[in-house]
Amino acid sequence: MKEKYGFFSNLRYVIRGMNSGKEGLLGIQLLGTAAETVSLFIIPMMVKFIIESLTAGEDVNKTLILIGINSSVMLIAYLTAGYVENNTPYKMKHALIRFKRELTETMVSMEYSNMENPKVLDEHERIRNVMNVKTQGIEGMMDSTVKCGKLIAQMIMAGILVSALHSLLIVILLGLLILSFIVIDKTKLKDKKLVWDALGPYWRKHFNMGYLTNHFTSAKEIRVYNMKDWIYKKYLGINSDILAKYRLSRNIWFMSYALCMPIALLEEISLYAFLIWQLSRAKLTVAEFMLYVSAVHIFIKALSDFIHEYTEIKKQSLEVKDFRAFIDRYRVKDTAKEELSKMEEYPSFEFKDVSFCYEGQNKNALEHVSISIPYGERLAVVGLNGAGKTTFIKMLTGFYKPAEGKICLNGRDCAGMKRDELYRYFSAVFQNVEEYPFTIAENISMKRTEDTDENKVRDCLKRCDLWDKISKLKYADKTQVMKVIDKEGIDLSGGEKQKLSLARALYKDAPVIILDEPTSALDPLAEEKLYTSFNDLIGERTGIFISHRLSSTKFCDKVAMFEDAQLVEYGTHEELMKKKGRYYELYRTQADLYREEENNDAER
């Protein structure tokens, strides 16, 4: 069976990528190949002609003209090669950016479940690191492909010159070079398997540790808790593991070079022994001896370098294979430009005996959940941490698909819907509010400035009680978020970030709005105030409130109580209080704690 990502398939993929832009990368490389090949052979040829001219007693002027012609050709070749060398890095980077864009598109489009899968993240980190090393992966294969093209041209030219030599010498030299190729090829395969493939998890840890030490969000705790030495030791531990792999790579290659050096020495001995023998028998002139020495050296070096580059390409091809497999396996086709079905005007959702288990876990995160969410309903999803609330929301929004059962939208199974089709129905205010390095307006619309409705942005800011502050800024809603990006930007407080996220949810104007524990850092009174404000803002739309506190339940139509991955109680606040089950116990416990805190505050 033909391998999907075989060597020649990967080679075609890389060459197509090099030639897909407007930079003319392949054309300029062909020009460079011709220039370098000419410049490499012009001097040996010139030396041969000069020696023959002088030994034959020809006119000096003729010799000087010959030198002048050769020098002119050499100058043109050098200038052309210099032009190509100067322009190649820029054009290579352009081509590489197109490949990197594929990886970025994959990461932002892949199924959400993969974003929480350590195996997938390790794959991505290994590929990301390879993409950032000039001699590896796609960039390395582009560079090696260009070099191989030049080396093939050099071998053809040198081969023509040395073809007159004894065939036995050619066979011996080729045999020794093939032996070197076998050693290097096996070494590179072993090095990739034992070192570079195994480094994925360590690189991900290294990247996360670097982010932790460099990002301002963790800088305060690092200093307050004097974590510097502890983090430094953790960092050294990760580096130590990476260095151990590097040492293994060094030892693997040391053994390879120890085997290849005697082979290279045999090549030189064979060459000189044969040419000296031919010269002693008057089979060669001095001029021919000089040319053949140069030509054979060029041939051996070109073939040796070609073998080295070929083994590099084979290793790089395996890395390109990883890249292509990752893209094909995880990239989800963009449906944004496709015609989607008409949105349901009054969407209602229903869970029908839904169960779900995260990959690698033995216990279900949701177990046999059945619940209906009619349009316009206010639903409070409550329970202690780890009860299954967030998993329930991930299932509802389509981030995960049920292992058992199904989720329906107005009777239609959501599993058969396009992701973008399903996402249209939801806006959300999550627990961790993300700020993006864009303007305030773009942070709300989540679109480019030219696609943003300014009036709608300002209306959302007013409804979320943010406009009074934003309007007083120099650039108003065009102000950049985060001062680390722009010194005239703005750093929002925790409460302001929550309001920004709420404005973002309102701007989308989706029929279902989710509040996923964004108030965990607020006190109970502030949380209740935010929930009440949120409840008023969403109007007729469906509102889903997720919290381990129960302050949101009083104004909700229904309460869904989760415990140990199951929906244990469901009904109105009053019904569940009368039932005196787990909801009643949790509500009374929290109410007592809040009253105790209020009494302590009053005594102070």
Supply the pLDDT for residue 336: 47
Q: Flag whether pLDDT at 4 surpasses 80.
A: no
Q: 3-class SS at 192?
A: helix
Return all residues near 128 (Cβ < 8 A) that are at least 6 apart. 103, 203
How does DSSP classify residue 492? P
pLDDT confidence bin for 522, thresholds 50/70/90: low
pTM value is 0.70
pLDDT confidence bin for 519, thresholds 50/70/90: low
Q: Are 347 and 324 in contact (CB under 8 A)?
A: no
Render pLDDT for 570-585 as a digit per residue (tens, 0 to 9): 999 889 999 988 888 8
CATH code 1.20.1560.10 region(s) in the chain: 7-330
Q: Which long-range contacts (CB under 8 A, 24 or more apart) does 166-173 make?
A: 166/274, 169/270, 169/271, 169/274, 172/270, 173/267, 173/270, 173/271, 173/296, 173/299, 173/300, 173/303
Supply the pLDDT for residue 596: 56
Q: Which residue type is seen at 364?
A: N
Domain 349-603 has CATH 3.40.50.300: yes
C-alpha gyration radius of the chain: 35
Q: What mean pLDDT value characterizes the chain? A: 81
Q: Are 177 and 159 in contact (CB under 8 A)?
A: no
Q: 3-class SS at 404?
A: strand
CATH code 3.40.50.300 region(s) in the chain: 349-603
Q: 3-class SS at 128?
A: helix
Domain 7-330 has CATH 2.20.140.10: no
410: nearest Cα among 471, 346, 468: 346
Q: Are 507 and 456 in contact (CB under 8 A)?
A: yes
Q: Are 156 and 41 in contact (CB under 8 A)?
A: no
What does the DSSP assignment read for 318-373? HHHHHHHHHHHHHPPPP-TTSPPPPPPSS--EEEEEEEE--TT-SS-SEEEEEEEE
Return all residues near 548 (Cβ < 8 A) that are at least 6 apart. 382, 383, 384, 385, 387, 389, 517, 520
CA distance 339 to 19: 32
Render pLDDT for 395-443 as a digit per residue (tens, 0 to 9): 999 888 899 999 999 989 988 888 888 888 998 888 777 888 888 899 8
Q: Flag whether pLDDT at 253 surpasses 70.
A: yes
Report the chain's terminal Cα–Cα distance, integer Å.
79
323: nearest Cα among 125, 189, 109: 125
